[in-house]
Amino acid sequence: MRLSGLASGMDIDTMVKQLMMTRKGPLNRLQQEKQTLEWQRESYREVSTKLVTLVNDKMTSLRNTFNNQSLKASTSGTNPDAISVVARKDATRLPVSINVTNTATASSATATFTGITRDSLVTIASGGAISNSSSINIVITKPDTSSETLTVNFEATDTMQSLVKKINSQYGEKVSATFDSASGNLVVQNKVTGASAGTISLDGVLFSNIDPEVSVAGQDAVYTINGTDPRTSSSNTITYDGLTITLKSAGTATVTTAANTDELVSAVKTFIEEYNSLLSLINGKTNEERFRAYKPLTDDQKEGMTEDEIEKWEVKSKSGLLRNDSILTGITNSLRTSMVTGVDTDYGSVSIMDLGIVTGSYGTRGQLKLEDESKLRALIEQEPEKLSAFFGANQFGTDASSKGMLNRITDIAKKGMDDLYNKAGTSRISADLTSGFLASSIIGNQLNQLDSRIAEQNRKLVIWENNYYKQFSAMESAINKLNSQSSSITNLLS
C-alpha cells in the first residue's frame, strides 16, 4: 500500500512522477523511433497502392485500348441508316457499298381472338373448350420436314398474359410470345431468323374455336457488296474485310473507315496523366524537406499542447521520412530511362518524340507533356500500327528495347511493389490505403524488436517507480515514528 505524504505533508505522487520523467528518456526515444517507422511504412503504402492501381487498372485498360484499337466507321448514301457498322483495327480503308434488298426475318404464327384482352381467362378465350388444366403445342418445322414440338402446360385460371409469360419463361431461348389486347393477336415468333429456321404452327384446345393461325415463313437477307452478285444470309449480321455489318432495312449505304483519332489521343493523354501522377507522388516524397528537430511527440508532451499545435508539429515530423529513399529513387530513375529510350518495333524504332511528347524542364523532374498534338494525330491517322507497337509491343518478351512502353512501366511498377513488400510489408494486390502490413518485412521485424525493447523499458520503469515509492514510504514511516516520539516526550514534560 502506497502512502500519500500525510506525515511529511509532501505531494509524493507528483514528486514520483517528476522523478520518473527523468527515467523515461530511453523509453521515449524507442517510442519515437517506432512512430517514425510506422509513419514511414504508411508513406510506403501510399506509393504501393498507387503502383497496384497503375498495374491492375490503368495499364490494363490502356493496353486494351492500344492493342485492340478499332477504326471509326461511318455510313452515307441514299439510305445511310440501312446498316450499322463496327470496324476492327485491321478493317479495310477502302469505301464499301452495301445494297440491302431485304433483311432476314423470323418465322411466326399469329392466332386472333375476338373480344379477348390480355387479362381474359384462357377458358373464355377458348370459348369454353377449356375447363381445367390443358396445354398448347408450338411446332417448329424445318425445310427438311423435321420438327420440334414445344409443349406449354397451363391452368384454367391462367389469363392470356400469364400464358404468354409461361411460353417465354420455358422457351424464351427459342421463341418469343406476345399478346396484343387491341387486335386480340397472340403472336409466337422464332428467335432464329432466315428460311432455314423453318415455320411455326400452333396446336391445342385453346385454338379450337378460332380461325386457323396465320403462319409466316422466315426469309433470308438479300444484299450485294460493291455491286457484286446478290448474296444471302440467314442472319442480319454479316462480316466483310474486318467490318461487322448489321442489316437494318432495305436501301443502299456506303461504309468508310478512319482511325478513331479522338479516342486514341484521349488514351495517350490519360497515359501521360497517370505517368505524371505517379512521378509527382514519388518525387514529392524523395525531395520532401526533413525536419530532424521535430521528432514524434510523446504522450507527456502532447498533454501541454492544443490539437492544432499537435497537428502542425506532426506535419513537420512526417515530412521527409522517405527523402532520397533508394527504392523510390530507383523507380523514378527506371521510369525516366525507359521513357527516353525508343521502342524497337517491326516498323522501326518509335520514341515519345514521334508522338509529339517531350519531357519537361529540369524543374518538372521528368514529367511528360504532349507538346505537338497535331503530330500525334497525324501518326494515328497515317501509321496507327506504330502507336499500337510503341505502347503494347512484346508483352512477354525479355528484350527490354523491344518491349512496349506500357509493359516497361508495368515491369518497373511490379519490381517496385516487390521491393516495398519486402521493405515495408505493403500489399502487392490491394489498392486500399487502410490495408494491413506483412509482419515479416524489414520494417515489420524492426517494429517487433522495438516492441520487445519498449516492453523491457516499461518493466524497468515499474521497478524504478516502486523503488521511489518504497523510499518515500520509508521516509513517511520514519517521520511518523519521530512524531510519535516527540508526542511522548511532550506528554512526559507536561
Please state whether 69 falls in left (phi above 0), alpha (psi between -120 and 50) or beta: beta
> 243 with 228: CB under 8 angstroms?
no
Residues in contact with 82: Cβ distance below 8 Å, sequence separation at least 6, in sequence order: 75, 98, 100, 247, 248, 249, 250, 251, 252, 253
If one counts every other C-beta atom within 10 angstroms of the C-beta of residue 458, the result is: 12
d(C-alpha 250, C-alpha 245), whole Å: 14
d(C-alpha 423, C-alpha 433), whole Å: 17
Place of cell 491492375: 56
Can you give the pLDDT at residue 467? 82
Sites in the chain below the pLDDT cut of 70: 1-10, 361-363, 394-398, 491-494
Q: Which of 178, 241, 187 is nearest to 216 (CA)?
A: 187
Phi, psi at 151, each rounded to 5°: -100, 130
Q: What is the residue type of 436?
A: G
Tens digits of residue pLDDT in 311-338: 999 999 999 999 999 999 999 999 999 9
DSSP string, 149-213: EEEEEE-TT-BHHHHHHHHHHHHTTTEEEEEETTTTEEEEEEEEESGGG-EEEEEEGGGTTSPPP
CA dihedral over 377, 383, 387, 388, signed as positive or negative: positive
Place of cell 506535419: 315
The angle subtended at Cα 78 by Cα 73 and Cα 80, nearest 5°, is 30
Can you give the pLDDT at residue 113? 95
Can you give the pLDDT at residue 385? 86
Name the strand (E) or helix (H) holding 261.
Answer: helix 261-286
CA dihedral over 375, 378, 380, 383, signed as positive or negative: negative
Tens digits of residue pLDDT in 451-474: 999 999 989 888 888 888 888 777
Can you give the pLDDT at residue 223? 98
d(C-alpha 115, C-alpha 143), whole Å: 35
Residues in contact with 479: Cβ distance below 8 Å, sequence separation at least 6, in sequence order: 7, 8
Can you give the pLDDT at residue 363? 65
CA dihedral over 163, 165, 168, 169, signed as positive or negative: negative
Q: For residue 266, give the C-alpha cell.
A: 484521349
Residues in contact with 472: Cβ distance below 8 Å, sequence separation at least 6, in sequence order: 3, 5, 10, 12, 15, 16
> 82 with 100: CB under 8 angstroms?
yes
Can you give the pLDDT at residue 150? 97
Can you give the pLDDT at residue 1? 47
> 437 with 426: CB under 8 angstroms?
yes
Can you give the pLDDT at residue 494? 60
Can you give the pLDDT at residue 9? 55
pTM: predicted TM-score of the whole model, two decimal places: 0.70
Please state whether 427 falls in left (phi above 0), alpha (psi between -120 and 50) or beta: beta
Please tell me whether residue 59 adopts helix, strand or coil conformation. helix
Burial of 470-479, coded b for 16+ CB within 10 Å and e otherwise, reads: eebeebbeeb
User: Between 261-286 and 326-340, two packed helices, what is the crossing angle to 10 degrees?
Assistant: 150
Q: Which of 30, 22, 28 is nearest to 299 (CA)?
A: 28
Can you give the pLDDT at residue 8? 55
Can you give the pLDDT at residue 408? 93
